Amino acid sequence: MQLIYILKLSDSKTSVEVVTQETLADFSHMPFDSGVTLNYIYVKNDTVFIVETSTDDRTERDDEVRILSADTGKEIYDRIFENTNFAVNVVDGGLLVSTLDGWTYISPDGQEKSGSDDISPFSKAGFLLVDETICIATNIEGLLSLDVN
């Protein structure tokens, strides 16, 4: 197991305190084992996004997305997405999850907005939040956008 500590700087900025401790599954990938677990952590100001990705075989992937307050350690959001293509940090925003059924944007406060657009071909593109719109810079299609308001 991996231990993740969320620390908070004191008001005097002379010490830190442990806000919370999280236990994540170890990265696992054996040459003859089809199961893989990966952990991704994104920090947005006072918010910590934790994505635990697991695969049962080469074609099925599930992502558990959790959001924690870095100030209090309390969990703001927890959801498992099945059959995901990817989960990606959105610059100046939250997290975008692409599934076989469409997409879900999760803001830092845990609010969701979903759509049915297939954005799976753009998993290596750049994602930026501008005025409640995710702008996707792609090599082939140019600039695409998703309204998350």
Pair of tokens at residue 68: 């924690």
Q: Between 124 and 63, whose confidence is greater?
A: 63
Whichever domain contains 124, its CATH number is 2.40.128
Number of domains in the chain: 1
What is the predicted pLDDT for the residue at 1?
Answer: 67
Structural domain for 83, as ranges: 2-147
Confidence of residue 81 (pLDDT cuts 50, 70, 90): very high
Q: Between 78 and 56, whose confidence is greater?
A: 78
Confidence of residue 31 (pLDDT cuts 50, 70, 90): very low
Mean pLDDT of 11-19: 85
Mean pLDDT of 30-42: 65
Confidence of residue 111 (pLDDT cuts 50, 70, 90): very high
Q: What is the pLDDT of residues 87-109, one digit of tens each?
A: 889 988 899 999 989 999 999 99
Question: From the CB of residue 8, how many other CB atoms can be counted at a distance below 10 Å?
Answer: 16
Mean pLDDT of 65-82: 93
What is the predicted pLDDT for the residue at 57?
Answer: 64
- The span from the CA of 113 to the CA of 90, in Å, is 14
Mean pLDDT of 40-61: 82
**DSSP calls for the chain:** -EEEEEEEE-TTSS-EEEEEEEEEPPPB--TT---EEEEEEEEETTEEEEEEEEESSSS-EEEEEEEEETTT--EEEEEEESSEEEEEEPBTS-EEEEETTEEEEE-TTS-EEEE----GGGTTSEEEEETTEEEEE-SSS-EEEEE--
